[in-house]
Amino acid sequence: MCKKIQLVYSGKKQRGIITETKDKILKSAFKLFLKKGFTDVTINEIISKARITKGGFFYYFKSKDQLLFEVIDEYIFTITDSFTQKIQTLAGSSKDKLQLFFEALPGIEGELQKKLGDKRITYRAFYLLLMEGVKKFDFFNERITVYHDKLRQGIVKIINDGKKEGSIAKAVNTEIMAQHIIASSEGILLLWTVTDEIDLQMMSKEMFNNFWLFIKA
C-alpha cells in the first residue's frame, strides 16, 4: 500500500514574478514529471534538462518540494482553475452554456500544449500525473476537492438558470444532475486516456445531446 507523502502547503502561489530562467526550470520539471512521475525525478535531472547550474536551481528553489508546489500551481491548478472560471462566466442561454461546457473538454489538451509550448504533451500524461498527485499528496486532494466544488457550483447555476428560463424541467434534481454531468464528463476523459479509439469531440457532443434530451422542459 502506497503511503501518502505529508507535505505542508500554504494554499497560495509562491512563484511571484517568474523570470525566464525560473520559467525554464518549471517547464523542464513539469515535462519530466509528466514522463516519470513526481517522485522519480531527481534535482540533477531537472538541472540537466533545464540546462542550468545547481546554484541556479537553488537560487530559485530551496528544495525539490518547493519546486513541486510551484509546478503544481503553475501547470496543473491554473489549468483546472481556468476551466472552472470559464464555466462560471459563460455567456448565452443555459443550453448554450451546457453545450460549451462539453465542447470545452477536448480543448484541455490544446491549452496544456500551448502553456508548455510543446505539442507532444498529451492529456493522458496530464491525467495520470493528476492521479499520482491524488494518491501521494494530501494537499493535492484538498485542491482537487475545491476544483470539483467550483465546477459543481458552475453546473448547478446553469441548471437553476435554465429552470428560471423555462428551458430545463423544474422536476430535475439540480444537485444530482450536476454530479451526473461532472461524473460523465470525467468518465469520458478517463476513457480517452486509455484508448485511442475514443473520438473525444464526437463523444462530448453526443453526451451533451443526451443530457439535454433528458433535462429539457
94 and 181 Cβ atoms separated by less than 8 Å: no
> Which is it for the CA torsion 27, 115, 19, 138, positive or negative?
negative
Is the model's pLDDT at 46 over the cut of 80? yes
φ, ψ for residue 90, nearest 5 deg: -60, 145
pLDDT score recorded for residue 168:
96
The residue extents of the domains of the chain are 72-215
Predicted confidence band of residue 18 (pLDDT cuts 50, 70, 90)? low
pLDDT score recorded for residue 10:
41
Is the model's pLDDT at 30 over the cut of 60? yes
183 and 211 Cβ atoms separated by less than 8 Å: no
Predicted confidence band of residue 42 (pLDDT cuts 50, 70, 90)? very high
Average of per-residue pLDDT across 26-43 = 92
Predicted confidence band of residue 13 (pLDDT cuts 50, 70, 90)? very low
Is the model's pLDDT at 210 over the cut of 90? yes
Look up the pTM and report it: 0.78
pLDDT score recorded for residue 213:
95
119-135 pLDDT, tens digit each: 888 888 888 888 888 88
3 state DSSP class of 216: strand
3-state SS of 142-194 is HHHHHHHHHHHHHHHHHHHHHHHHCCECCCCCHHHHHHHHHHHHHHHHHHHHH
161-181 pLDDT, tens digit each: 999 999 999 999 999 999 999
* CATH topology (fold) of 72-215: Tetracycline Repressor; domain 2 (1.10.357)
Indicate the average pLDDT of the chain: 85
71-116 pLDDT, tens digit each: 888 888 887 788 777 777 878 899 999 998 888 887 878 888 888 8
